[in-house]
Amino acid sequence: MSRHLIVAVALLIAAVAPLAAFAADMEGKVQSVDTGERTFTLENGTKIWLADGVAVESIKEGTEVTVSYDERDGKPVATSVIQK
C-alpha cells in the first residue's frame, strides 16, 4: 500500500507543480486604466488584465501597486492588486 501512496503523491506533485510556476508578483506605477477592457498599464509598458473579483474601479492612475498575477493565454492576469 505504501508504494501506491508514493505513486499517488508523486502524481499529485507533478500535476500541481506547473500551476505554481505561473504565479508571480510585480511592482510599478499605474500609467493608465481601461475600465471597459478591465486592464491597466504600468509605467514600464506592461499591460495587465484583471481577474474576476478584482475591482477595476479601485485602481487609480499614478498609484504605486504590487500585483500578484497568473500567466493565462500568454497574458498577465492580476489576482490581486495592492495599492501603496
- pLDDT tier for residue 27 given thresholds of 50, 70 and 90: very high
Q: How far, rounded to the nearest angstrom, does the alpha carbon of residue 7 sit from its chain's CA centroid?
A: 31
Q: Are 84 and 64 in contact (CB under 8 A)?
A: yes
Give the model's pLDDT for residue 34: 97
Give the model's pLDDT for residue 23: 80
Which amino acid, 32?
A: S
Record the pTM: 0.73
Give the model's pLDDT for residue 8: 59
- pLDDT tier for residue 21 given thresholds of 50, 70 and 90: very low
Give the model's pLDDT for residue 1: 56
Give the model's pLDDT for residue 15: 61
Domains and CATH numbers, the chain: 23-83 (2.40.50.320)
